[in-house]
Chains A and B, each alone.
Chain A
Amino acid sequence: MTVIVFTLILIVGAYCAGLLGSLTGLGGGVVIIPLLTMALGIDFHYAVGAALVASIATSSGSGSAYVKEGITNIRLGMFLEVATVIGAVVGALVAYYLDSNVIAVIFGCTLILTAVMQLTKKQNHDGVKGSEAARRLKLFGTWPQKDGSFKHYELRNVAGGFGVMTIAGALSGILGIGSGVLKVIAMDNMMKVPFKVSTTTSNFMMGVTACASAVVYLQRGNIDPGIAFPVMIGVLAGALTGARLLKRLDVRLLRRVFSFVVLLVAFNMIWQGINGNF
């Protein structure tokens, strides 16, 4: 294979990753890692660097659209960011000593959790009674309704959410992915944040968390220019297309099909990791 063929394959793959990532809300890394490792036989340590690039590109690319609508809860994001950046620093530290096969198994388990959570129903929790801690931290907010008015929401279980976010940060530090699934568990299931708010806030956080470990990975040489170039260009273009399509498309079926594919990839990844194929 020549360099140009390799680059073209990656651009097409990254474009699909960005497109699927933004349509399903999973971010680009979930597709990029299996593409590089399983389809092209590239070492996991390069794939993690590429996933970090993909995560930041998706987050910043679609983030500019979300902030304008005023859905992102910046205080909530920044508060939970304390947990994720600490997790990311620890994760990047641990990752240095991890074997590719161990990373593969961790990634596979995260994928299974992701697929299962994609299939469960999302709620815009109504009438949640907020906790005192959340009130003190000024985490309550409003979100725009279809008729243009703003609706007030409260949230609770700050400590639980904070704890899960630390794990999310650690996974991001090890795998380079946005670990959106844990953010959903923390914000939707535990803190009872309305779904629309948690999605955009999680997208905002994904970029910041990835930054905490990205420079370390760049210095270690995990971010290879020959891979970073096609991945960044492809993911950015794919995410932009996805953001446009999302307004017109009903993605429920796509999400369901995608979840099953992710599940298959996950089992394959864990199996190969246990057998030491990476």
Chain B
Amino acid sequence: MQILISRTLRWGVTIAGLTTLIGGTLYLLQHGGEALDMEKYASFSYAAQQNPATTTLDGILSGVLAANSESFIQLGVVALILTPVMRVVLSLVDFTKQKDWLYVAITLFVLIVIIANSLSE
């Protein structure tokens, strides 16, 4: 089980890193020479950042299919976020195997809070 957890972490990080690297290379090829939009970075606005291709799962996935480099990077971020979540799922399996119901309940609670919060907006 420990080896499985360690392997999951390593694979998750590798997949996330590679996806981001591919997206990032594409991004630099497309936009590398452009001037940086400092006005955008200097003051954040929630309204201006509502680009579906980088902020919704649907948008990211369709963006990746359309070879949108920014969506590709975000897919890597999503993979990175999923890595610790997978780890919690593995712990849940482990506690279930040990019939440690107290910790099955605790782990389930943590998992539900993370998922519910992610789906809330």
Contacts and interface: CB of A to CB of B under 8 A. Distances in A.
Interface of A: 1-7, 40-46, 53, 56-57, 59-61, 63-65, 67-68, 70, 74-75, 78-79, 81-82, 85-86, 88-89, 92, 96, 100, 137-138, 204, 207-208, 210-216, 218-230, 232-233, 236
Interface string B11-33: 01100110011011001100111
Contact of B80 (A6, A60, A68, A220): A60
Given A60-B83, A210-B84, A225 B70 contact: yes
Contacts of B2: 67-68, 70
A7 B54 CA distance: 18
Given A2-B33, A137-B102, A221-B50, A216 B121 contact: yes
Contact of A53 (B77, B94, B103): B77
A78 B103 contact: yes
Contacts of B7: 64
Contacts of B12: 60
Majority secondary structure, B binding face: helix
A236 B17 contact: yes
A57 B56 contact: no
Contact of A78 (B24, B84, B91, B113): B91
A265 to B, nearest CB: 20
Given A1-B35, A216-B121, A42 B42 contact: yes
Given A56-B80, A228-B74, A68 B3 contact: yes
Contacts of A46: 41, 44
A245 B36 CA distance: 35
B55 A82 contact: no
A220 to B, nearest CB: 6
Interface in B43-58: 43-44, 46, 48-51, 54-56
Contacts of A207: 83-84, 87
Given A138-B103, A208-B110, 4 more contacts: A2-B33, A85-B113, A208-B88, A233-B17
B96 interface: no
Name which of B69, B107, B114, B118 has the most chain A CB atoms within 10 A of its CB: B114
Contact of A45 (B20, B44, B113): B44
Contacts of A218: 55, 74, 77-78, 81
B32 A2 contact: yes
Contact of B32 (A7, A53, A208, A225): A7
Interface string B55-78: 110000000000001110110111
B80 A232 contact: yes
B81 A61 contact: no
A82 B106 contact: yes
Contact of B85 (A2, A5, A211, A227): A211
A46 B42 CA distance: 9
Contacts of B48: 221
A82 B32 contact: no
A100 B41 CA distance: 13
Interface centre among A43, A59, A212 (most CB of B within 10 A): A212
Contacts of B6: 63-65, 67-68
